[in-house]
Amino acid sequence: MAIFKGAGVAIITPFHEDGSVDYEKFGELIEFQVQNKTDAIIVCGTTGESSTLTHEEHLDVIRYCVEKVNHRIPVIAGTGSNCTQTAVYLSQEAEKSGADGLLLVTPYYNKGTQNGLYQHFKTIADSVKIPVILYNIPGRTGVALLPETIVRLCREVENIVGVKDATGNISQTAHLMQLADGCVDLYSGEDGIIVPMLSLGGKGVISVLSNVAPGQTHEICSRFFEGDVEGSCKLQLRALPLVDALFCEVNPIPVKKAAELMGLCGGTLRMPLTEMEPEHAARLEKELKAFGVL
């Protein structure tokens, strides 16, 4: 049984102007997601600016999210690190907090061989009992999990159940699913190719778009699963201009600006992320209006 099926939001972490976590707005964002049919919340991922949260903040944000959601939908905590023991610590604490699953990014900078990646993920997964989704995003981490390694992990480690695939390489993803023969729960890590990933057997998406259009992203998935592939595809194609605008600068700069434009929360970022360029912000505002969410 997959941790979730459909559209999971890679939720932003709102900050006050002084850079502290704005828990009041975070609670409102969570309610906005739940009320608009998001199928899961992925907290403290890349979009949540986990890389600039202290360990204490990281765990406090996870605890708050779990308590606020209160079992209405699954909460998946991003607890990956390039230090295996740090990831073990964060993962164990997230499990204690009641997270339903974990998202573990490939270890950046020091990278590791395929065998090293296998040992890294196995060590973390063996330290907890809740299910684990691997996060393969070589464009950010500088290291790729190969299909053979993903399948090996899912077959040999009981609670490693799937992968968030943000490689953008559909041919490689197809190879992965051919090797997996059903043992890997696949989630798209890119909002622009949700339908192609679902067509390869994907369970859904872990989405940036869902921050601003949760109902529409949920519907892309739900229509596909209901057999309305044409309708799902139309929604996917309609969303592409907005998706492009949400990634015209490094994530989560644009989605934080979008949330600010929509009045969902302030757009404060933590350095080294900085304010969106004015011409890009204007483009984003235009696409939010065209999509009907602003």
User: On the CB side of 46, how many CA atoms lie within 13 Å of its CA?
Assistant: 22
Confidence of residue 242 (pLDDT cuts 50, 70, 90): very high
Scanning the chain, the segments in alpha helix (DSSP H) are: 23-35, 55-69, 84-97, 114-126, 138-141, 147-156, 170-180, 194-199, 214-225, 229-246, 253-261, 278-291
Nearest residue to 30 (alpha-carbon basis) of 55, 79, 63: 63
Angle, in degrees to the nearest 10, between helices 114-126 and 84-97: 30
Q: How far apart are CA 173 and CA 237, in angstroms?
A: 21
213 near 291, Cβ under 8 Å?
Answer: yes
* Residue tagged 């949760």 (tokens): 214
> Which active-site residues does the annotation give?
135, 164
On the question of pLDDT at 1 being above 90, the answer is no
Confidence of residue 13 (pLDDT cuts 50, 70, 90): very high
The pLDDT assigned to 289 comes to 98
Read off φ and ψ for residue 272, nearest 5 degrees. Answer: -85, 5
Mean pLDDT of the region 81-109: 98
DSSP three-state, residue 31: helix
Q: Strand 185-188 relative to strand 160-165: parallel, antiparallel, unpaired?
A: parallel
6 near 219, Cβ under 8 Å?
Answer: no
Q: How far apart are CA 145 and CA 269, in angstroms?
A: 29
Q: How far apart are CA 294 and CA 285, in angstroms?
A: 8
The pLDDT assigned to 97 comes to 98
User: What Cα–Cα distance (Å) separates residue 36 from each residue in 31, 219, 280?
Assistant: 8, 10, 27
Query: What is the per-residue pLDDT across 120-166, written as a single tens digit (0 to 9) for each?
Result: 999 999 999 999 999 999 999 999 999 999 999 999 999 999 999 99
Q: How far apart are CA 146 and CA 289, in angstroms?
A: 39
The pLDDT assigned to 18 comes to 97
Chain mean pLDDT for the chain:
97
108 near 80, Cβ under 8 Å?
Answer: no
User: To the nearest whole percent, how much of the chain has pLDDT over 90?
Assistant: 99
pTM: 0.97
Q: How far apart are CA 10 and CA 214, in angstroms?
A: 11
